[in-house]
């Protein structure tokens, strides 16, 4: 099975010193930097776009794991690719042509991910699974950090793990992840764990390495 990767979400960063936060996560052992892009339309919050993302690209060597909570999305894929994304994840619910969207990400030479909201069944992935590099199971309703983990997500992780089978595809979980539930999401098949508030709350860089280590050890 794949190694466990920890992906801190900069949605919980102190944006007044975003570059410092990204450098601190880099040295604290983050495997990926998780970047939450929100448009105030697909989700009820607005975060930032490719200009801000590009401004922090040089602050870390870690892959940028870009979670696009925007609709429509196809139009913006080249901009996120050019701004330094390594993995581009879109929501299955964000448009009527998921297959086309996945191909647009791959046409940019990036790894393609598909995310599912809590109410969306895993079966929607059946006919794109062979084309994607990552499945992201949302374990909260997207839009905000600091929400509680939805326990039903464990069922969906197991279903997604079964669908992935022997394919070389990451299974990521996002929302309400902490050292308290890291073990059970990993046991359900997740190998990429996103955590925002569990790592960044308080925005004290001295906390980041021990908090990342605590999730990894769990």
Catalytic positions = 36, 174
According to the annotation, is 34 in a ligand binding site? yes
Could you tell me the two tokens for 131?
Answer: 């084309």
Residue in 44, 146, 151, 210 binding ligand DX5, rule: CB under 6 A = 146
How many CA atoms, within 13 angstroms, populate the side-chain half-sphere of residue 113?
26
Kindly tell me which of 44 and 123 has the beta carbon lying closer to ligand DX5: 44
Task: Give the DSSP letter string of 185-217.
Answer: HHHTT--EEEESHHHHTT--HHHHHHHHHHHHH
Residue in 76, 143, 173, 186 binding ligand DX5, rule: CB under 6 A = 143
According to the annotation, is 144 in a ligand binding site? yes
**Percent helix, strand and coil across the chain, each rounded to 5?**
40, 20, 40
Kindly tell me which of 197 and 203 has the beta carbon lying closer to Zn ion: 197
* CA-to-CA separations, 87 to 12, 96, 126, 209, 211, in angstroms, rounded: 20, 21, 20, 23, 24
How many residues line the site for Zn ion (CB under 5 A)? 3
**Which one of 18-26, 53-61, 80-88, 194-202 is the stretch in contact with ligand DX5 (CB under 6 A)?**
194-202
> Within positions 59 to 78, which residues make up the interface with ligand DX5, using CB under 6 A?
67
Residues that bind ligand DX5 (CB under 6 A): 9, 11-12, 34, 36, 67, 140, 142-143, 145-147, 174-177, 194-198
């Amino acid at each position: 099975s794949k190694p466990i990767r920890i992906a801190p979400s900069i949605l919980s960063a102190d944006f007044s010193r975003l570059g410092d936060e990204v450098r601190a996560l880099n040295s604290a052992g983050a495997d990926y930097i998780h970047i939450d892009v929100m448009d105030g339309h697909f989700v009820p919050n607005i975060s930032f776009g490719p200009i801000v993302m590009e401004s922090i690209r040089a602050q870390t060597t870690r892959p940028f794991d870009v979670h696009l909570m925007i609709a429509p999305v196809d139009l913006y894929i080249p901009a996120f690719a050019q701004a330094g994304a390594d993995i581009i994840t879109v929501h299955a619910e964000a448009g009527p042509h998921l297959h086309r969207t996945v191909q647009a990400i791959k046409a940019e030479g990036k790894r393609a991910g598909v995310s599912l909201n809590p109410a969306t069944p895993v079966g929607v992935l059946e006919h794109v699974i062979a084309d994607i590099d990552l499945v992201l199971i949302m374990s909260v309703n997207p839009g905000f950090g600091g929400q509680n983990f939805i326990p039903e997500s464990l069922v969906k992780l197991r279903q997604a793990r079964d669908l992935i089978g022997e394919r070389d595809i990451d299974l990521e979980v996002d929302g309400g992840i902490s050292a308290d539930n890291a073990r059970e999401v990993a046991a359900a098949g997740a190998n990429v764990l996103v955590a925002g508030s569990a790592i960044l709350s308080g925005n004290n860089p001295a906390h980041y390495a021990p908090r990342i280590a605590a999730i990894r050890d769990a």
